[in-house]
Amino acid sequence: MTAKLLDGKAFAATVREKVASHVSKLKSEHGITPGLAVVLVGEDPASQVYVRSKGKMTVEVGMNSYEHKLDANTSEADLLALIEKLNKDESINGILVQLPLPDHLNEDLVINSIDPVKDVDGFHISNVGLLGTGQKSMVPCTPLGCLMMLREHHGSLSGLDAVVIGRSNIVGKPMANLLLGDSCTVTIAHSRTKDLPDVVRRADIVVAAVGRPEMVPGDWIKKGATVIDVGINRIPAPEKGEGKTRLVGDVDFATAKENAGAITPVPGGVGPMTIACLLANTLTATCRANGLEEPE
Ligand code: NDP
């Protein structure tokens, strides 16, 4: 059996189209243009690439994009002052501080200084608490993208056994909360989990968010299970030429697709959904700020 490919790139394009049509209605009916501010401190090359593509897609869906590029030595006080200014600015509906921050800046302090209503990454402690108690919140983009793909494929997730490998605050824990919210029976696995293969073999849904290239082999996957591979790992690809690299996930795609019922590829799976969900969250934040009905 070969699994159905869950095409995140195509799905993300449809999510962005829906956001764009909603934005156009906001403009024509209410004179509102959503604004997303992205703050980048320092010159981490991967972060620069992410910020550039976020900015480009923000503009493509008709929103205003504001980029604040700060020097790597920026003081905490200056960064907090900028966030305070953005919190008060009515033309800004979403604020995203690109992580990781340089070591001298306290990430928790910085994230928790963002107005929770504008916290489109969903990392503010209030949003974490709201999600954890099943209340309306801003949901972190990557797990939200995974949930949307799972709902699209399964319809209802109720009663399914889900295993999330990884317990980070950014992916693993919010993912587990979202699956619980959709009535899955959820297991969170991590580096201290005993007999990981056995745990994974029980799952109808496997979400791998570890950061270890191809660590989940196909024979851990139950026949017909759905596999969501969050991992993005760059490995050497000598077959493409000297010094060349390629991206792989945390799951061994070639063997996993033989057992899985459905699987996301890397690249082209979860990655594109993350930015689409950032735009969807910015739209949601704009509607909430203006007392308008939220998009589904
Ligand atoms: P973290 O490093 O914060 O967390 C990794 C988790 O994996 C930890 O909980 C760790 O356990 C667990 N882990 C490590 N080794 C093992 C092991 N051998 N067996 C079981 N569990 C293990 O990573 P993130 O959550 O931030 O990211 C995970 C992956 O997802 C990365 O590849 C990252 O690049 C990717 N990513 C992709 C995004 C996208 O848009 N597609 C967005 C965000 C992340 P412990 O807690 O015990 O140490």
C-alpha–C-alpha distance, residues 105 and 123, integer Å: 16
Instruction: Quote the pTM value.
Output: 0.97
Q: Specify the CATH number of the domain 141-271.
A: 3.40.50.720
Determine which helix (DSSP H) or strand (DSSP E) holds 17, and give its type and residue range.
helix 8-30
Query: Which SS3 state, helix, strand or coil, does residue 198 take?
Result: helix
Q: Which fold has domain 29-116?
A: Rossmann fold (3.40.50)
Residues composing the chain: 296
Rounded distance, CA 182 to CA 247, Å?
31
For the chain, helix (H) and strand (E) counts, in that order, are 10, 11
Mutation test of ligand 1: which of 168, 169, 229 has the most ligand atoms closer than 8 Å to its C-beta? 168
ipTM over 0.90: yes
pLDDT score at 1? 63
Is 151 annotated as contributing to ligand binding? no
Q: Which are the catalytic amino acids?
A: 54, 98, 121
**Per-residue pLDDT tens listing for the chain (296 residues):** 689 999 999 999 999 999 999 999 999 999 999 999 999 999 999 999 999 999 999 999 999 999 999 999 999 999 999 999 999 999 999 999 999 999 999 999 999 999 999 999 999 999 999 999 999 999 999 999 999 999 999 999 999 999 999 999 999 999 999 999 999 999 999 999 999 999 999 999 999 999 999 999 999 999 999 999 999 999 999 999 999 999 999 999 999 999 999 999 999 999 999 999 999 999 999 999 999 999 87
Q: Where are the domains of the chain?
A: 29-116, 141-271
Helix (H/G/I), strand (E/B), else coil: 268: coil
User: What integer pLDDT is reported at residue 296 of this predicted model?
Assistant: 79
Would the annotation count 65 as a binding residue? no
Ligand 1 pocket list (CB less than 6 A):
142, 165-168, 170-172, 189-193, 196, 209-212, 230-233, 270-271, 274
> What is the whole-number distance in angstroms between the Cα of residue 206 and the centre of ligand 1?
14
